[in-house]
Structure 1
Amino acid sequence: MATAPAEFPPPVDPAKEFVGPPTDPPDERIEVGIAIVGGGPAGLACAIRLGQLLAEDEQLLESLGEVPIAIIEKGKTCGSHLLSGAMMRPSAMRKLFPDMPESEWPTYGTVDKDAVYLLTPKRAIPLKPTPPPFRNHGNHVTSIAQLGRWLAGKAEELGAYILPETAAVKLLVEDGRVVGVRTGDKGRDREGKELSNFEPGSDVIAKATILCEGTQGHLAGAAIRYFGLGSEDPQQWELGVKEVWEVKQPLDRVIHTMGWPLRYRAKYGEFGGSFIYPMGEDKVSLGFVAGLDYKDATFSVHDTLQLLKTHPLVRGILEGGKRIAWGAKTIPSGGYWAMPKRLWAPGMCIAGDSAGMVNVPRLKGIHYAMHAGIFAAEAVYEALKEHGSTEDLSGYERRVRESEIEKDLYEVRNMRQPFSKGFFVGGAISNAMLITKGRFPGGHWETHDDATVPVFIGDRDKVYPKPDNELTFNKLDSVFLSGNATRDDAPNHIRIANPVPLEVALMWQNMCPAQVYEVPEEELEAARVDGRLDGKKLVKVKVTASNCVQCGAITAKGGRLTPPEGGDGPNYQLT
């Protein structure tokens, strides 16, 4: 007896609510050449490549108007909402900056040593030789938040205009063609009423719109539904919670772990592992990533990371150190089959994480996002140059399908799915797929919607350590470290059904790393029958939207995250 979150959908219709024609009078619309939604690796690579191409074509540059390239970024700055493990393959940076020495990149250098461990509660068993997915020799360790700020500077040098603290809330479509986006209002209170500093949103009209919103892309999801771009396989997601520590001793290798603290049995559906990366001589980045198709409503990725830090291996690395940053983000993990069957519509392309371009077995996505941004820039330039229109952007699709994005993701197309059978069975099957580059077992292993997986009330929460504020920490103190400065009276940008069965409510409460969802004590007491919790009992969930770091997990597990007011959310610096 368990409940699937999908049985209680949020009150939202993306294709109707988030897609529509322009509404501003023509003389009040903001006209730009190319609108790029999202100042992450994909969007910034797109802007840089466009700038490079337009620098050699003065006539086309002038035809794009006073603002030839506009980057619409909802964070305080580019980088504010970026979080990743950030082991970056160098191929896209080399393509974008062919004459720049790698020593000038904003990274902590390349990886020389790798180590992978299978953890038990007390032991760390090294896996030798290092499994191929975890071999990172030659890859760059970086902070993706810092990388975003650096790339933003390069984009501005090439003529891009960055519009920070600006949320793109609606995709503008006329006569079957994307013509731009509408930005969100600012200065409303919790009930949506206008405050004294109210600023209405605007229609931003562009010759081409590139959606590079990252994971759980708001407009990308709406566009996929509206234009019928999606595949038959739903996207799946993982949630990563990450910390950055100042440490006493330098870490001389990249470490990945698997096994404990996760449970192996298929009953729990727990999948994931940890990473620990050196960031120069005095800092390390560590995080835990887990699939969001788990089944125990008391499972928490944040608290699993806290538990991981009590292991002798991890405790020894952090001993005497200080936590200086924290954050959380979802990762698209459906892989090849869950990518949109088409990556463009008239006037629009979708690039990067918004299109599911992540190699989950290898934990790589940054260079794919950047390559996709470059391809989008080249396709838009080609269409405007040859046809004077972006009605047909199939050149983008062709470039992606002929690239390493397609090749790499196809080879690992079925490697995430077997883990629904449990850790050991899934590991054996995926290893066979890895060795044969996906040929055996072959075929098409279907993905599933994480929200359709029923959840039950287990007891995982009983093993999590109590925060000691030295090694382990609670969620609210962690949110403070994210730089989140969302005002308490901001409108609620989270849509959930309410009330919902206790099983679903507790799952949301434990899942969220930022303590946005809470089942009040009186609701818990009302759900007790003979001393036991009745998981089917309907309860009301308290939502504290100002805590939200916009990780996107709620969208994967039965609710819907919509864009908050521009500038709200985290302000990541080192993640």
Structure 2
Amino acid sequence: MSDSLQYDVVIVGAGPSGLSSAIRLKQLCQEQGKNLSVCILEKGSEVGAHILSGAVIDPKALNELIPDWKEQGAPLNIQAQKDKFLFLTKRRAFRLPTPPQMKNHGNYVISLGNLCRWLAQKAEGLGVEIYPGFAVAKAIFDDDDCVIGVETTPMGLDAEGKPTDRYQEGVKVFARHVLLAEGCHGSLSKEIMIKYNLRKDAQPQTYGLGIKELWEVKPENHHPGFITHTIGWPLDRKTYGGSFIYHLENNQISIGFVVGLDYQNPYMSPYEEFQRFKQHPAIRSLLEGGKRMAYGARALNEGGYQSIPNLSFPGGSLIGCSAGFLNVPKIKGTHTAMKSGMIAAETVFEFLSMNGKANKVLLGEFDERVKKSWINKELKKVRNIRPGFRWGLLSGLINAALETYLFRGVMPWTLKHHKDNESLKLAKNSKPIAYAKPDNIISFDRLTSVFQSNTNHPENQPCHLHLSDPERAISCNLALYDSPEQRYCPAGVYEIVRDGDNQAPRLQINAQNCVHCKTCDIKDPTQNINWVPPEGGGGPRYPNM
């Protein structure tokens, strides 16, 4: 790549929405005899390296994008067979009726990373240029405050920010329109939303932390296409969350745990709750005799309909999980992310073809088309289910039943969300949690898990986890909340250390462990932690998560 490039459309992120938008743009070019240049910048070392999801996919959007995906060899090999919904106590599992949103007839158990790799091949076959290993550091603006491109993160800086012998300055990539498809809580998307006040008409986004492992289990424990979700133990009744177990091919299962980041107890560790969950008799018996193959973690949007920001800004648009289209009760967001990318592509193509420029003329048009699509209808129908759990598990289940079976999604009110970072109670008013040591058979420590995520960052580079006020980590987080970042980080990035006897405590940041989940940027009580992209190509390298 040269120091400056020019495209018609640049897409930041090679996830489902970014790849779908690129494919749809090129399809429209073929259909109408146009020629638009399209580029995707991906911070992972390869397409799919940073992709992590359950995942069970509703193929609705894929059917629209590539109707003959089966014949073309899309990696959707295991069709959903059986759903099971369990309520767990410490020792027992009680089967509950599966909510209609969680029934998976016609869906597929997949590796989302492998689907993205396949979509990338299709995009490149249509002429899309994809550059993995290039993280985007910032947007480029013209004199009218319109986005006209992006600039990638410099390579080869040392820990002090000084150039080394392998230094390469960031590449400026100019475009007539920029699509931000960074995924949940993207760093550039966050800045753009603040700059243009895109959240002015939306409620706060709320998030969950998803932690996942890939296991190879004994053949007698494996049932391709079986799907299990659980609620209840080990979480307390005030904390939203639950588990998923999806049976893939080749005796492999995806097992994971999601904890709502509006939890209250600063002593809780989502990672340790997951390890504790695996020790439940019903779960341990599934995993015993098996082998853990991979580990990863990622934040996910849970706000839904009422938390979607304005999608259009001068010179660009937000798509996929950059905006937050996850259907929480359905536990699916790939189909809605893909559809948002397709709608954006159709909108951008129309204006680029007609007007020669898709900047200010696009403001609001993409938003209106999304509102008229099945995305809006699907999310609006379930908008009150997730916020109903802020009053606890029992109240949430009752509210979900009423919303689903009585009101059927047409209730005249909309429940509100709140900011996750404001939900923690003070440590002095909270109960410490004693977690068991890992047995290294079913449960594992965080550093062992990070190793299985294939995470790597060159140690001699600037720390990508910025503290607005380093002292606040001690005077506020440690003094008031007993440093919850030590527990909510699923990768052991944050430690309170003392360099000697009677020495003052300090926060040590082990940035090389970071799996790019963004939880710290979301959950820090005073929003003191700012996650920015490290050097491109770093972070996890997930195989088929």
TM-score range, shorter chain: over 0.9
1:328 aligns with 2:297: yes
Structure 2 contact 62–69 (Cα < 8 Å) conserved: no
The Cα of 1:103 is off from its aligned counterpart by 8.3
Structure 2 contact 202–308 (Cα < 8 Å) conserved: no
1:552 counterpart residue number: 518
The Cα of 1:182 is off from its aligned counterpart by 1.0
SS in 1 for 2:140: strand
SS in 2 for 1:225: helix
1:511 aligns with 2:488: yes
The Cα of 1:460 is off from its aligned counterpart by 4.8
The Cα of 1:372 is off from its aligned counterpart by 0.8
CA distance in 2 between counterparts of 1:386 and 1:87 reads 39
The Cα of 1:232 is off from its aligned counterpart by 4.1
Question: Structure 1 residues 173 and 523 mapped into 2: Cα distance closer, same or farther (>3 Å)?
Answer: farther
The Cα of 1:399 is off from its aligned counterpart by 2.2
2:228 counterpart residue number: 255
1:374 counterpart residue number: 342
Residue by residue over 1:498-517, the C-alpha shift from the partner in whole angstroms, topping out at 9 and shown as x without a partner, is: 23331445210000000000
The Cα of 1:299 is off from its aligned counterpart by 0.9
The equivalences for 1:288-307 within 5 A come to: 288-307=257-276
1:46 aligns with 2:25: no
CA distance in 2 between counterparts of 1:523 and 1:75 reads 38
1:426 counterpart residue number: 396
CA distance in 1 between counterparts of 2:333 and 2:392 reads 25
CA distance in 2 between counterparts of 1:399 and 1:556 reads 29
CA distance in 2 between counterparts of 1:523 and 1:235 reads 41
1:531 counterpart residue number: none
Structure 1 contact 49–377 (Cα < 8 Å) conserved: yes
The Cα of 1:218 is off from its aligned counterpart by 1.3
Residue by residue over 1:242-287, the C-alpha shift from the partner in whole angstroms, topping out at 9 and shown as x without a partner, is: 00000113135100000000011x4xxx110000000114100000
Which segment drifts farther, 250-259 or 447-456? 447-456
SS in 2 for 1:302: helix
SS in 1 for 2:52: coil
SS in 1 for 2:44: coil
Structure 1 contact 254–276 (Cα < 8 Å) conserved: yes
Question: Structure 1 residues 296 and 57 mapped into 2: Cα distance closer, same or farther (>3 Å)?
Answer: same
Question: Structure 1 residues 260 and 176 mapped into 2: Cα distance closer, same or farther (>3 Å)?
Answer: same
Structure 2 contact 3–170 (Cα < 8 Å) conserved: no
Structure 1 contact 455–507 (Cα < 8 Å) conserved: no
CA distance in 1 between counterparts of 2:167 and 2:499 reads 37
1:498 aligns with 2:470: yes
The equivalences for 1:432-447 within 5 A come to: 432-435=402-405, 436-440=407-411, 442-447=412-417
1:241 counterpart residue number: 211
What is the letter of the counterpart of residue 542 of structure 2? Y
CA distance in 1 between counterparts of 2:66 and 2:357 reads 28
1:475 counterpart residue number: 446
Give unmatched runs, 5+ long, in structure 1.
Answer: 1-26, 528-538
Structure 2 contact 180–319 (Cα < 8 Å) conserved: yes
The Cα of 1:321 is off from its aligned counterpart by 0.2
1:122 aligns with 2:97: no
1:461 aligns with 2:433: yes
CA distance in 1 between counterparts of 2:165 and 2:317 reads 37
The equivalences for 1:536-551 within 5 A come to: 539-551=505-517
Question: Structure 1 residues 522 and 196 mapped into 2: Cα distance closer, same or farther (>3 Å)?
Answer: closer
CA distance in 2 between counterparts of 1:85 and 1:99 reads 24
1:284 counterpart residue number: 253
2:457 counterpart residue number: 486
CA distance in 2 between counterparts of 1:191 and 1:46 reads 38
Residue by residue over 1:428-487, the C-alpha shift from the partner in whole angstroms, topping out at 9 and shown as x without a partner, is: 1222122223344x423221111112333344530x231121111010111111111211
The Cα of 1:52 is off from its aligned counterpart by 1.1
The equivalences for 1:49-448 within 5 A come to: 49-58=24-33, 60-61=34-35, 64=36, 68-101=37-70, 104-128=73-97, 130-174=98-142, 175-230=144-199, 231-249=201-219, 250-252=222-224, 253-264=226-237, 266=238, 270-340=239-309, 342-391=310-359, 392-393=361-362, 394-435=364-405, 436-440=407-411, 442-448=412-418
Question: Structure 1 residues 524 and 211 mapped into 2: Cα distance closer, same or farther (>3 Å)?
Answer: farther
Give unmatched runs, 5+ long, in structure 2.
Answer: none
TM-score, normalised on structure 1? 0.88
What is the letter of the counterpart of residue 216 of structure 1? H
Cα RMSD, aligned residues only: 1.9
Taking only the aligned residue pairs, the percentage that are identical comes to: 39
Question: Structure 1 residues 508 and 525 mapped into 2: Cα distance closer, same or farther (>3 Å)?
Answer: farther
CA distance in 2 between counterparts of 1:514 and 1:419 reads 27
SS in 2 for 1:84: coil
1:4 counterpart residue number: none
What is the letter of the counterpart of residue 28 of structure 2? L
Question: Structure 1 residues 522 and 291 mapped into 2: Cα distance closer, same or farther (>3 Å)?
Answer: farther
CA distance in 1 between counterparts of 2:135 and 2:51 reads 15
CA distance in 1 between counterparts of 2:58 and 2:502 reads 51
The Cα of 1:398 is off from its aligned counterpart by 2.5
Structure 2 contact 304–328 (Cα < 8 Å) conserved: yes
CA distance in 1 between counterparts of 2:151 and 2:165 reads 22
TM-score, normalised on structure 2? 0.93
CA distance in 2 between counterparts of 1:221 and 1:339 reads 13
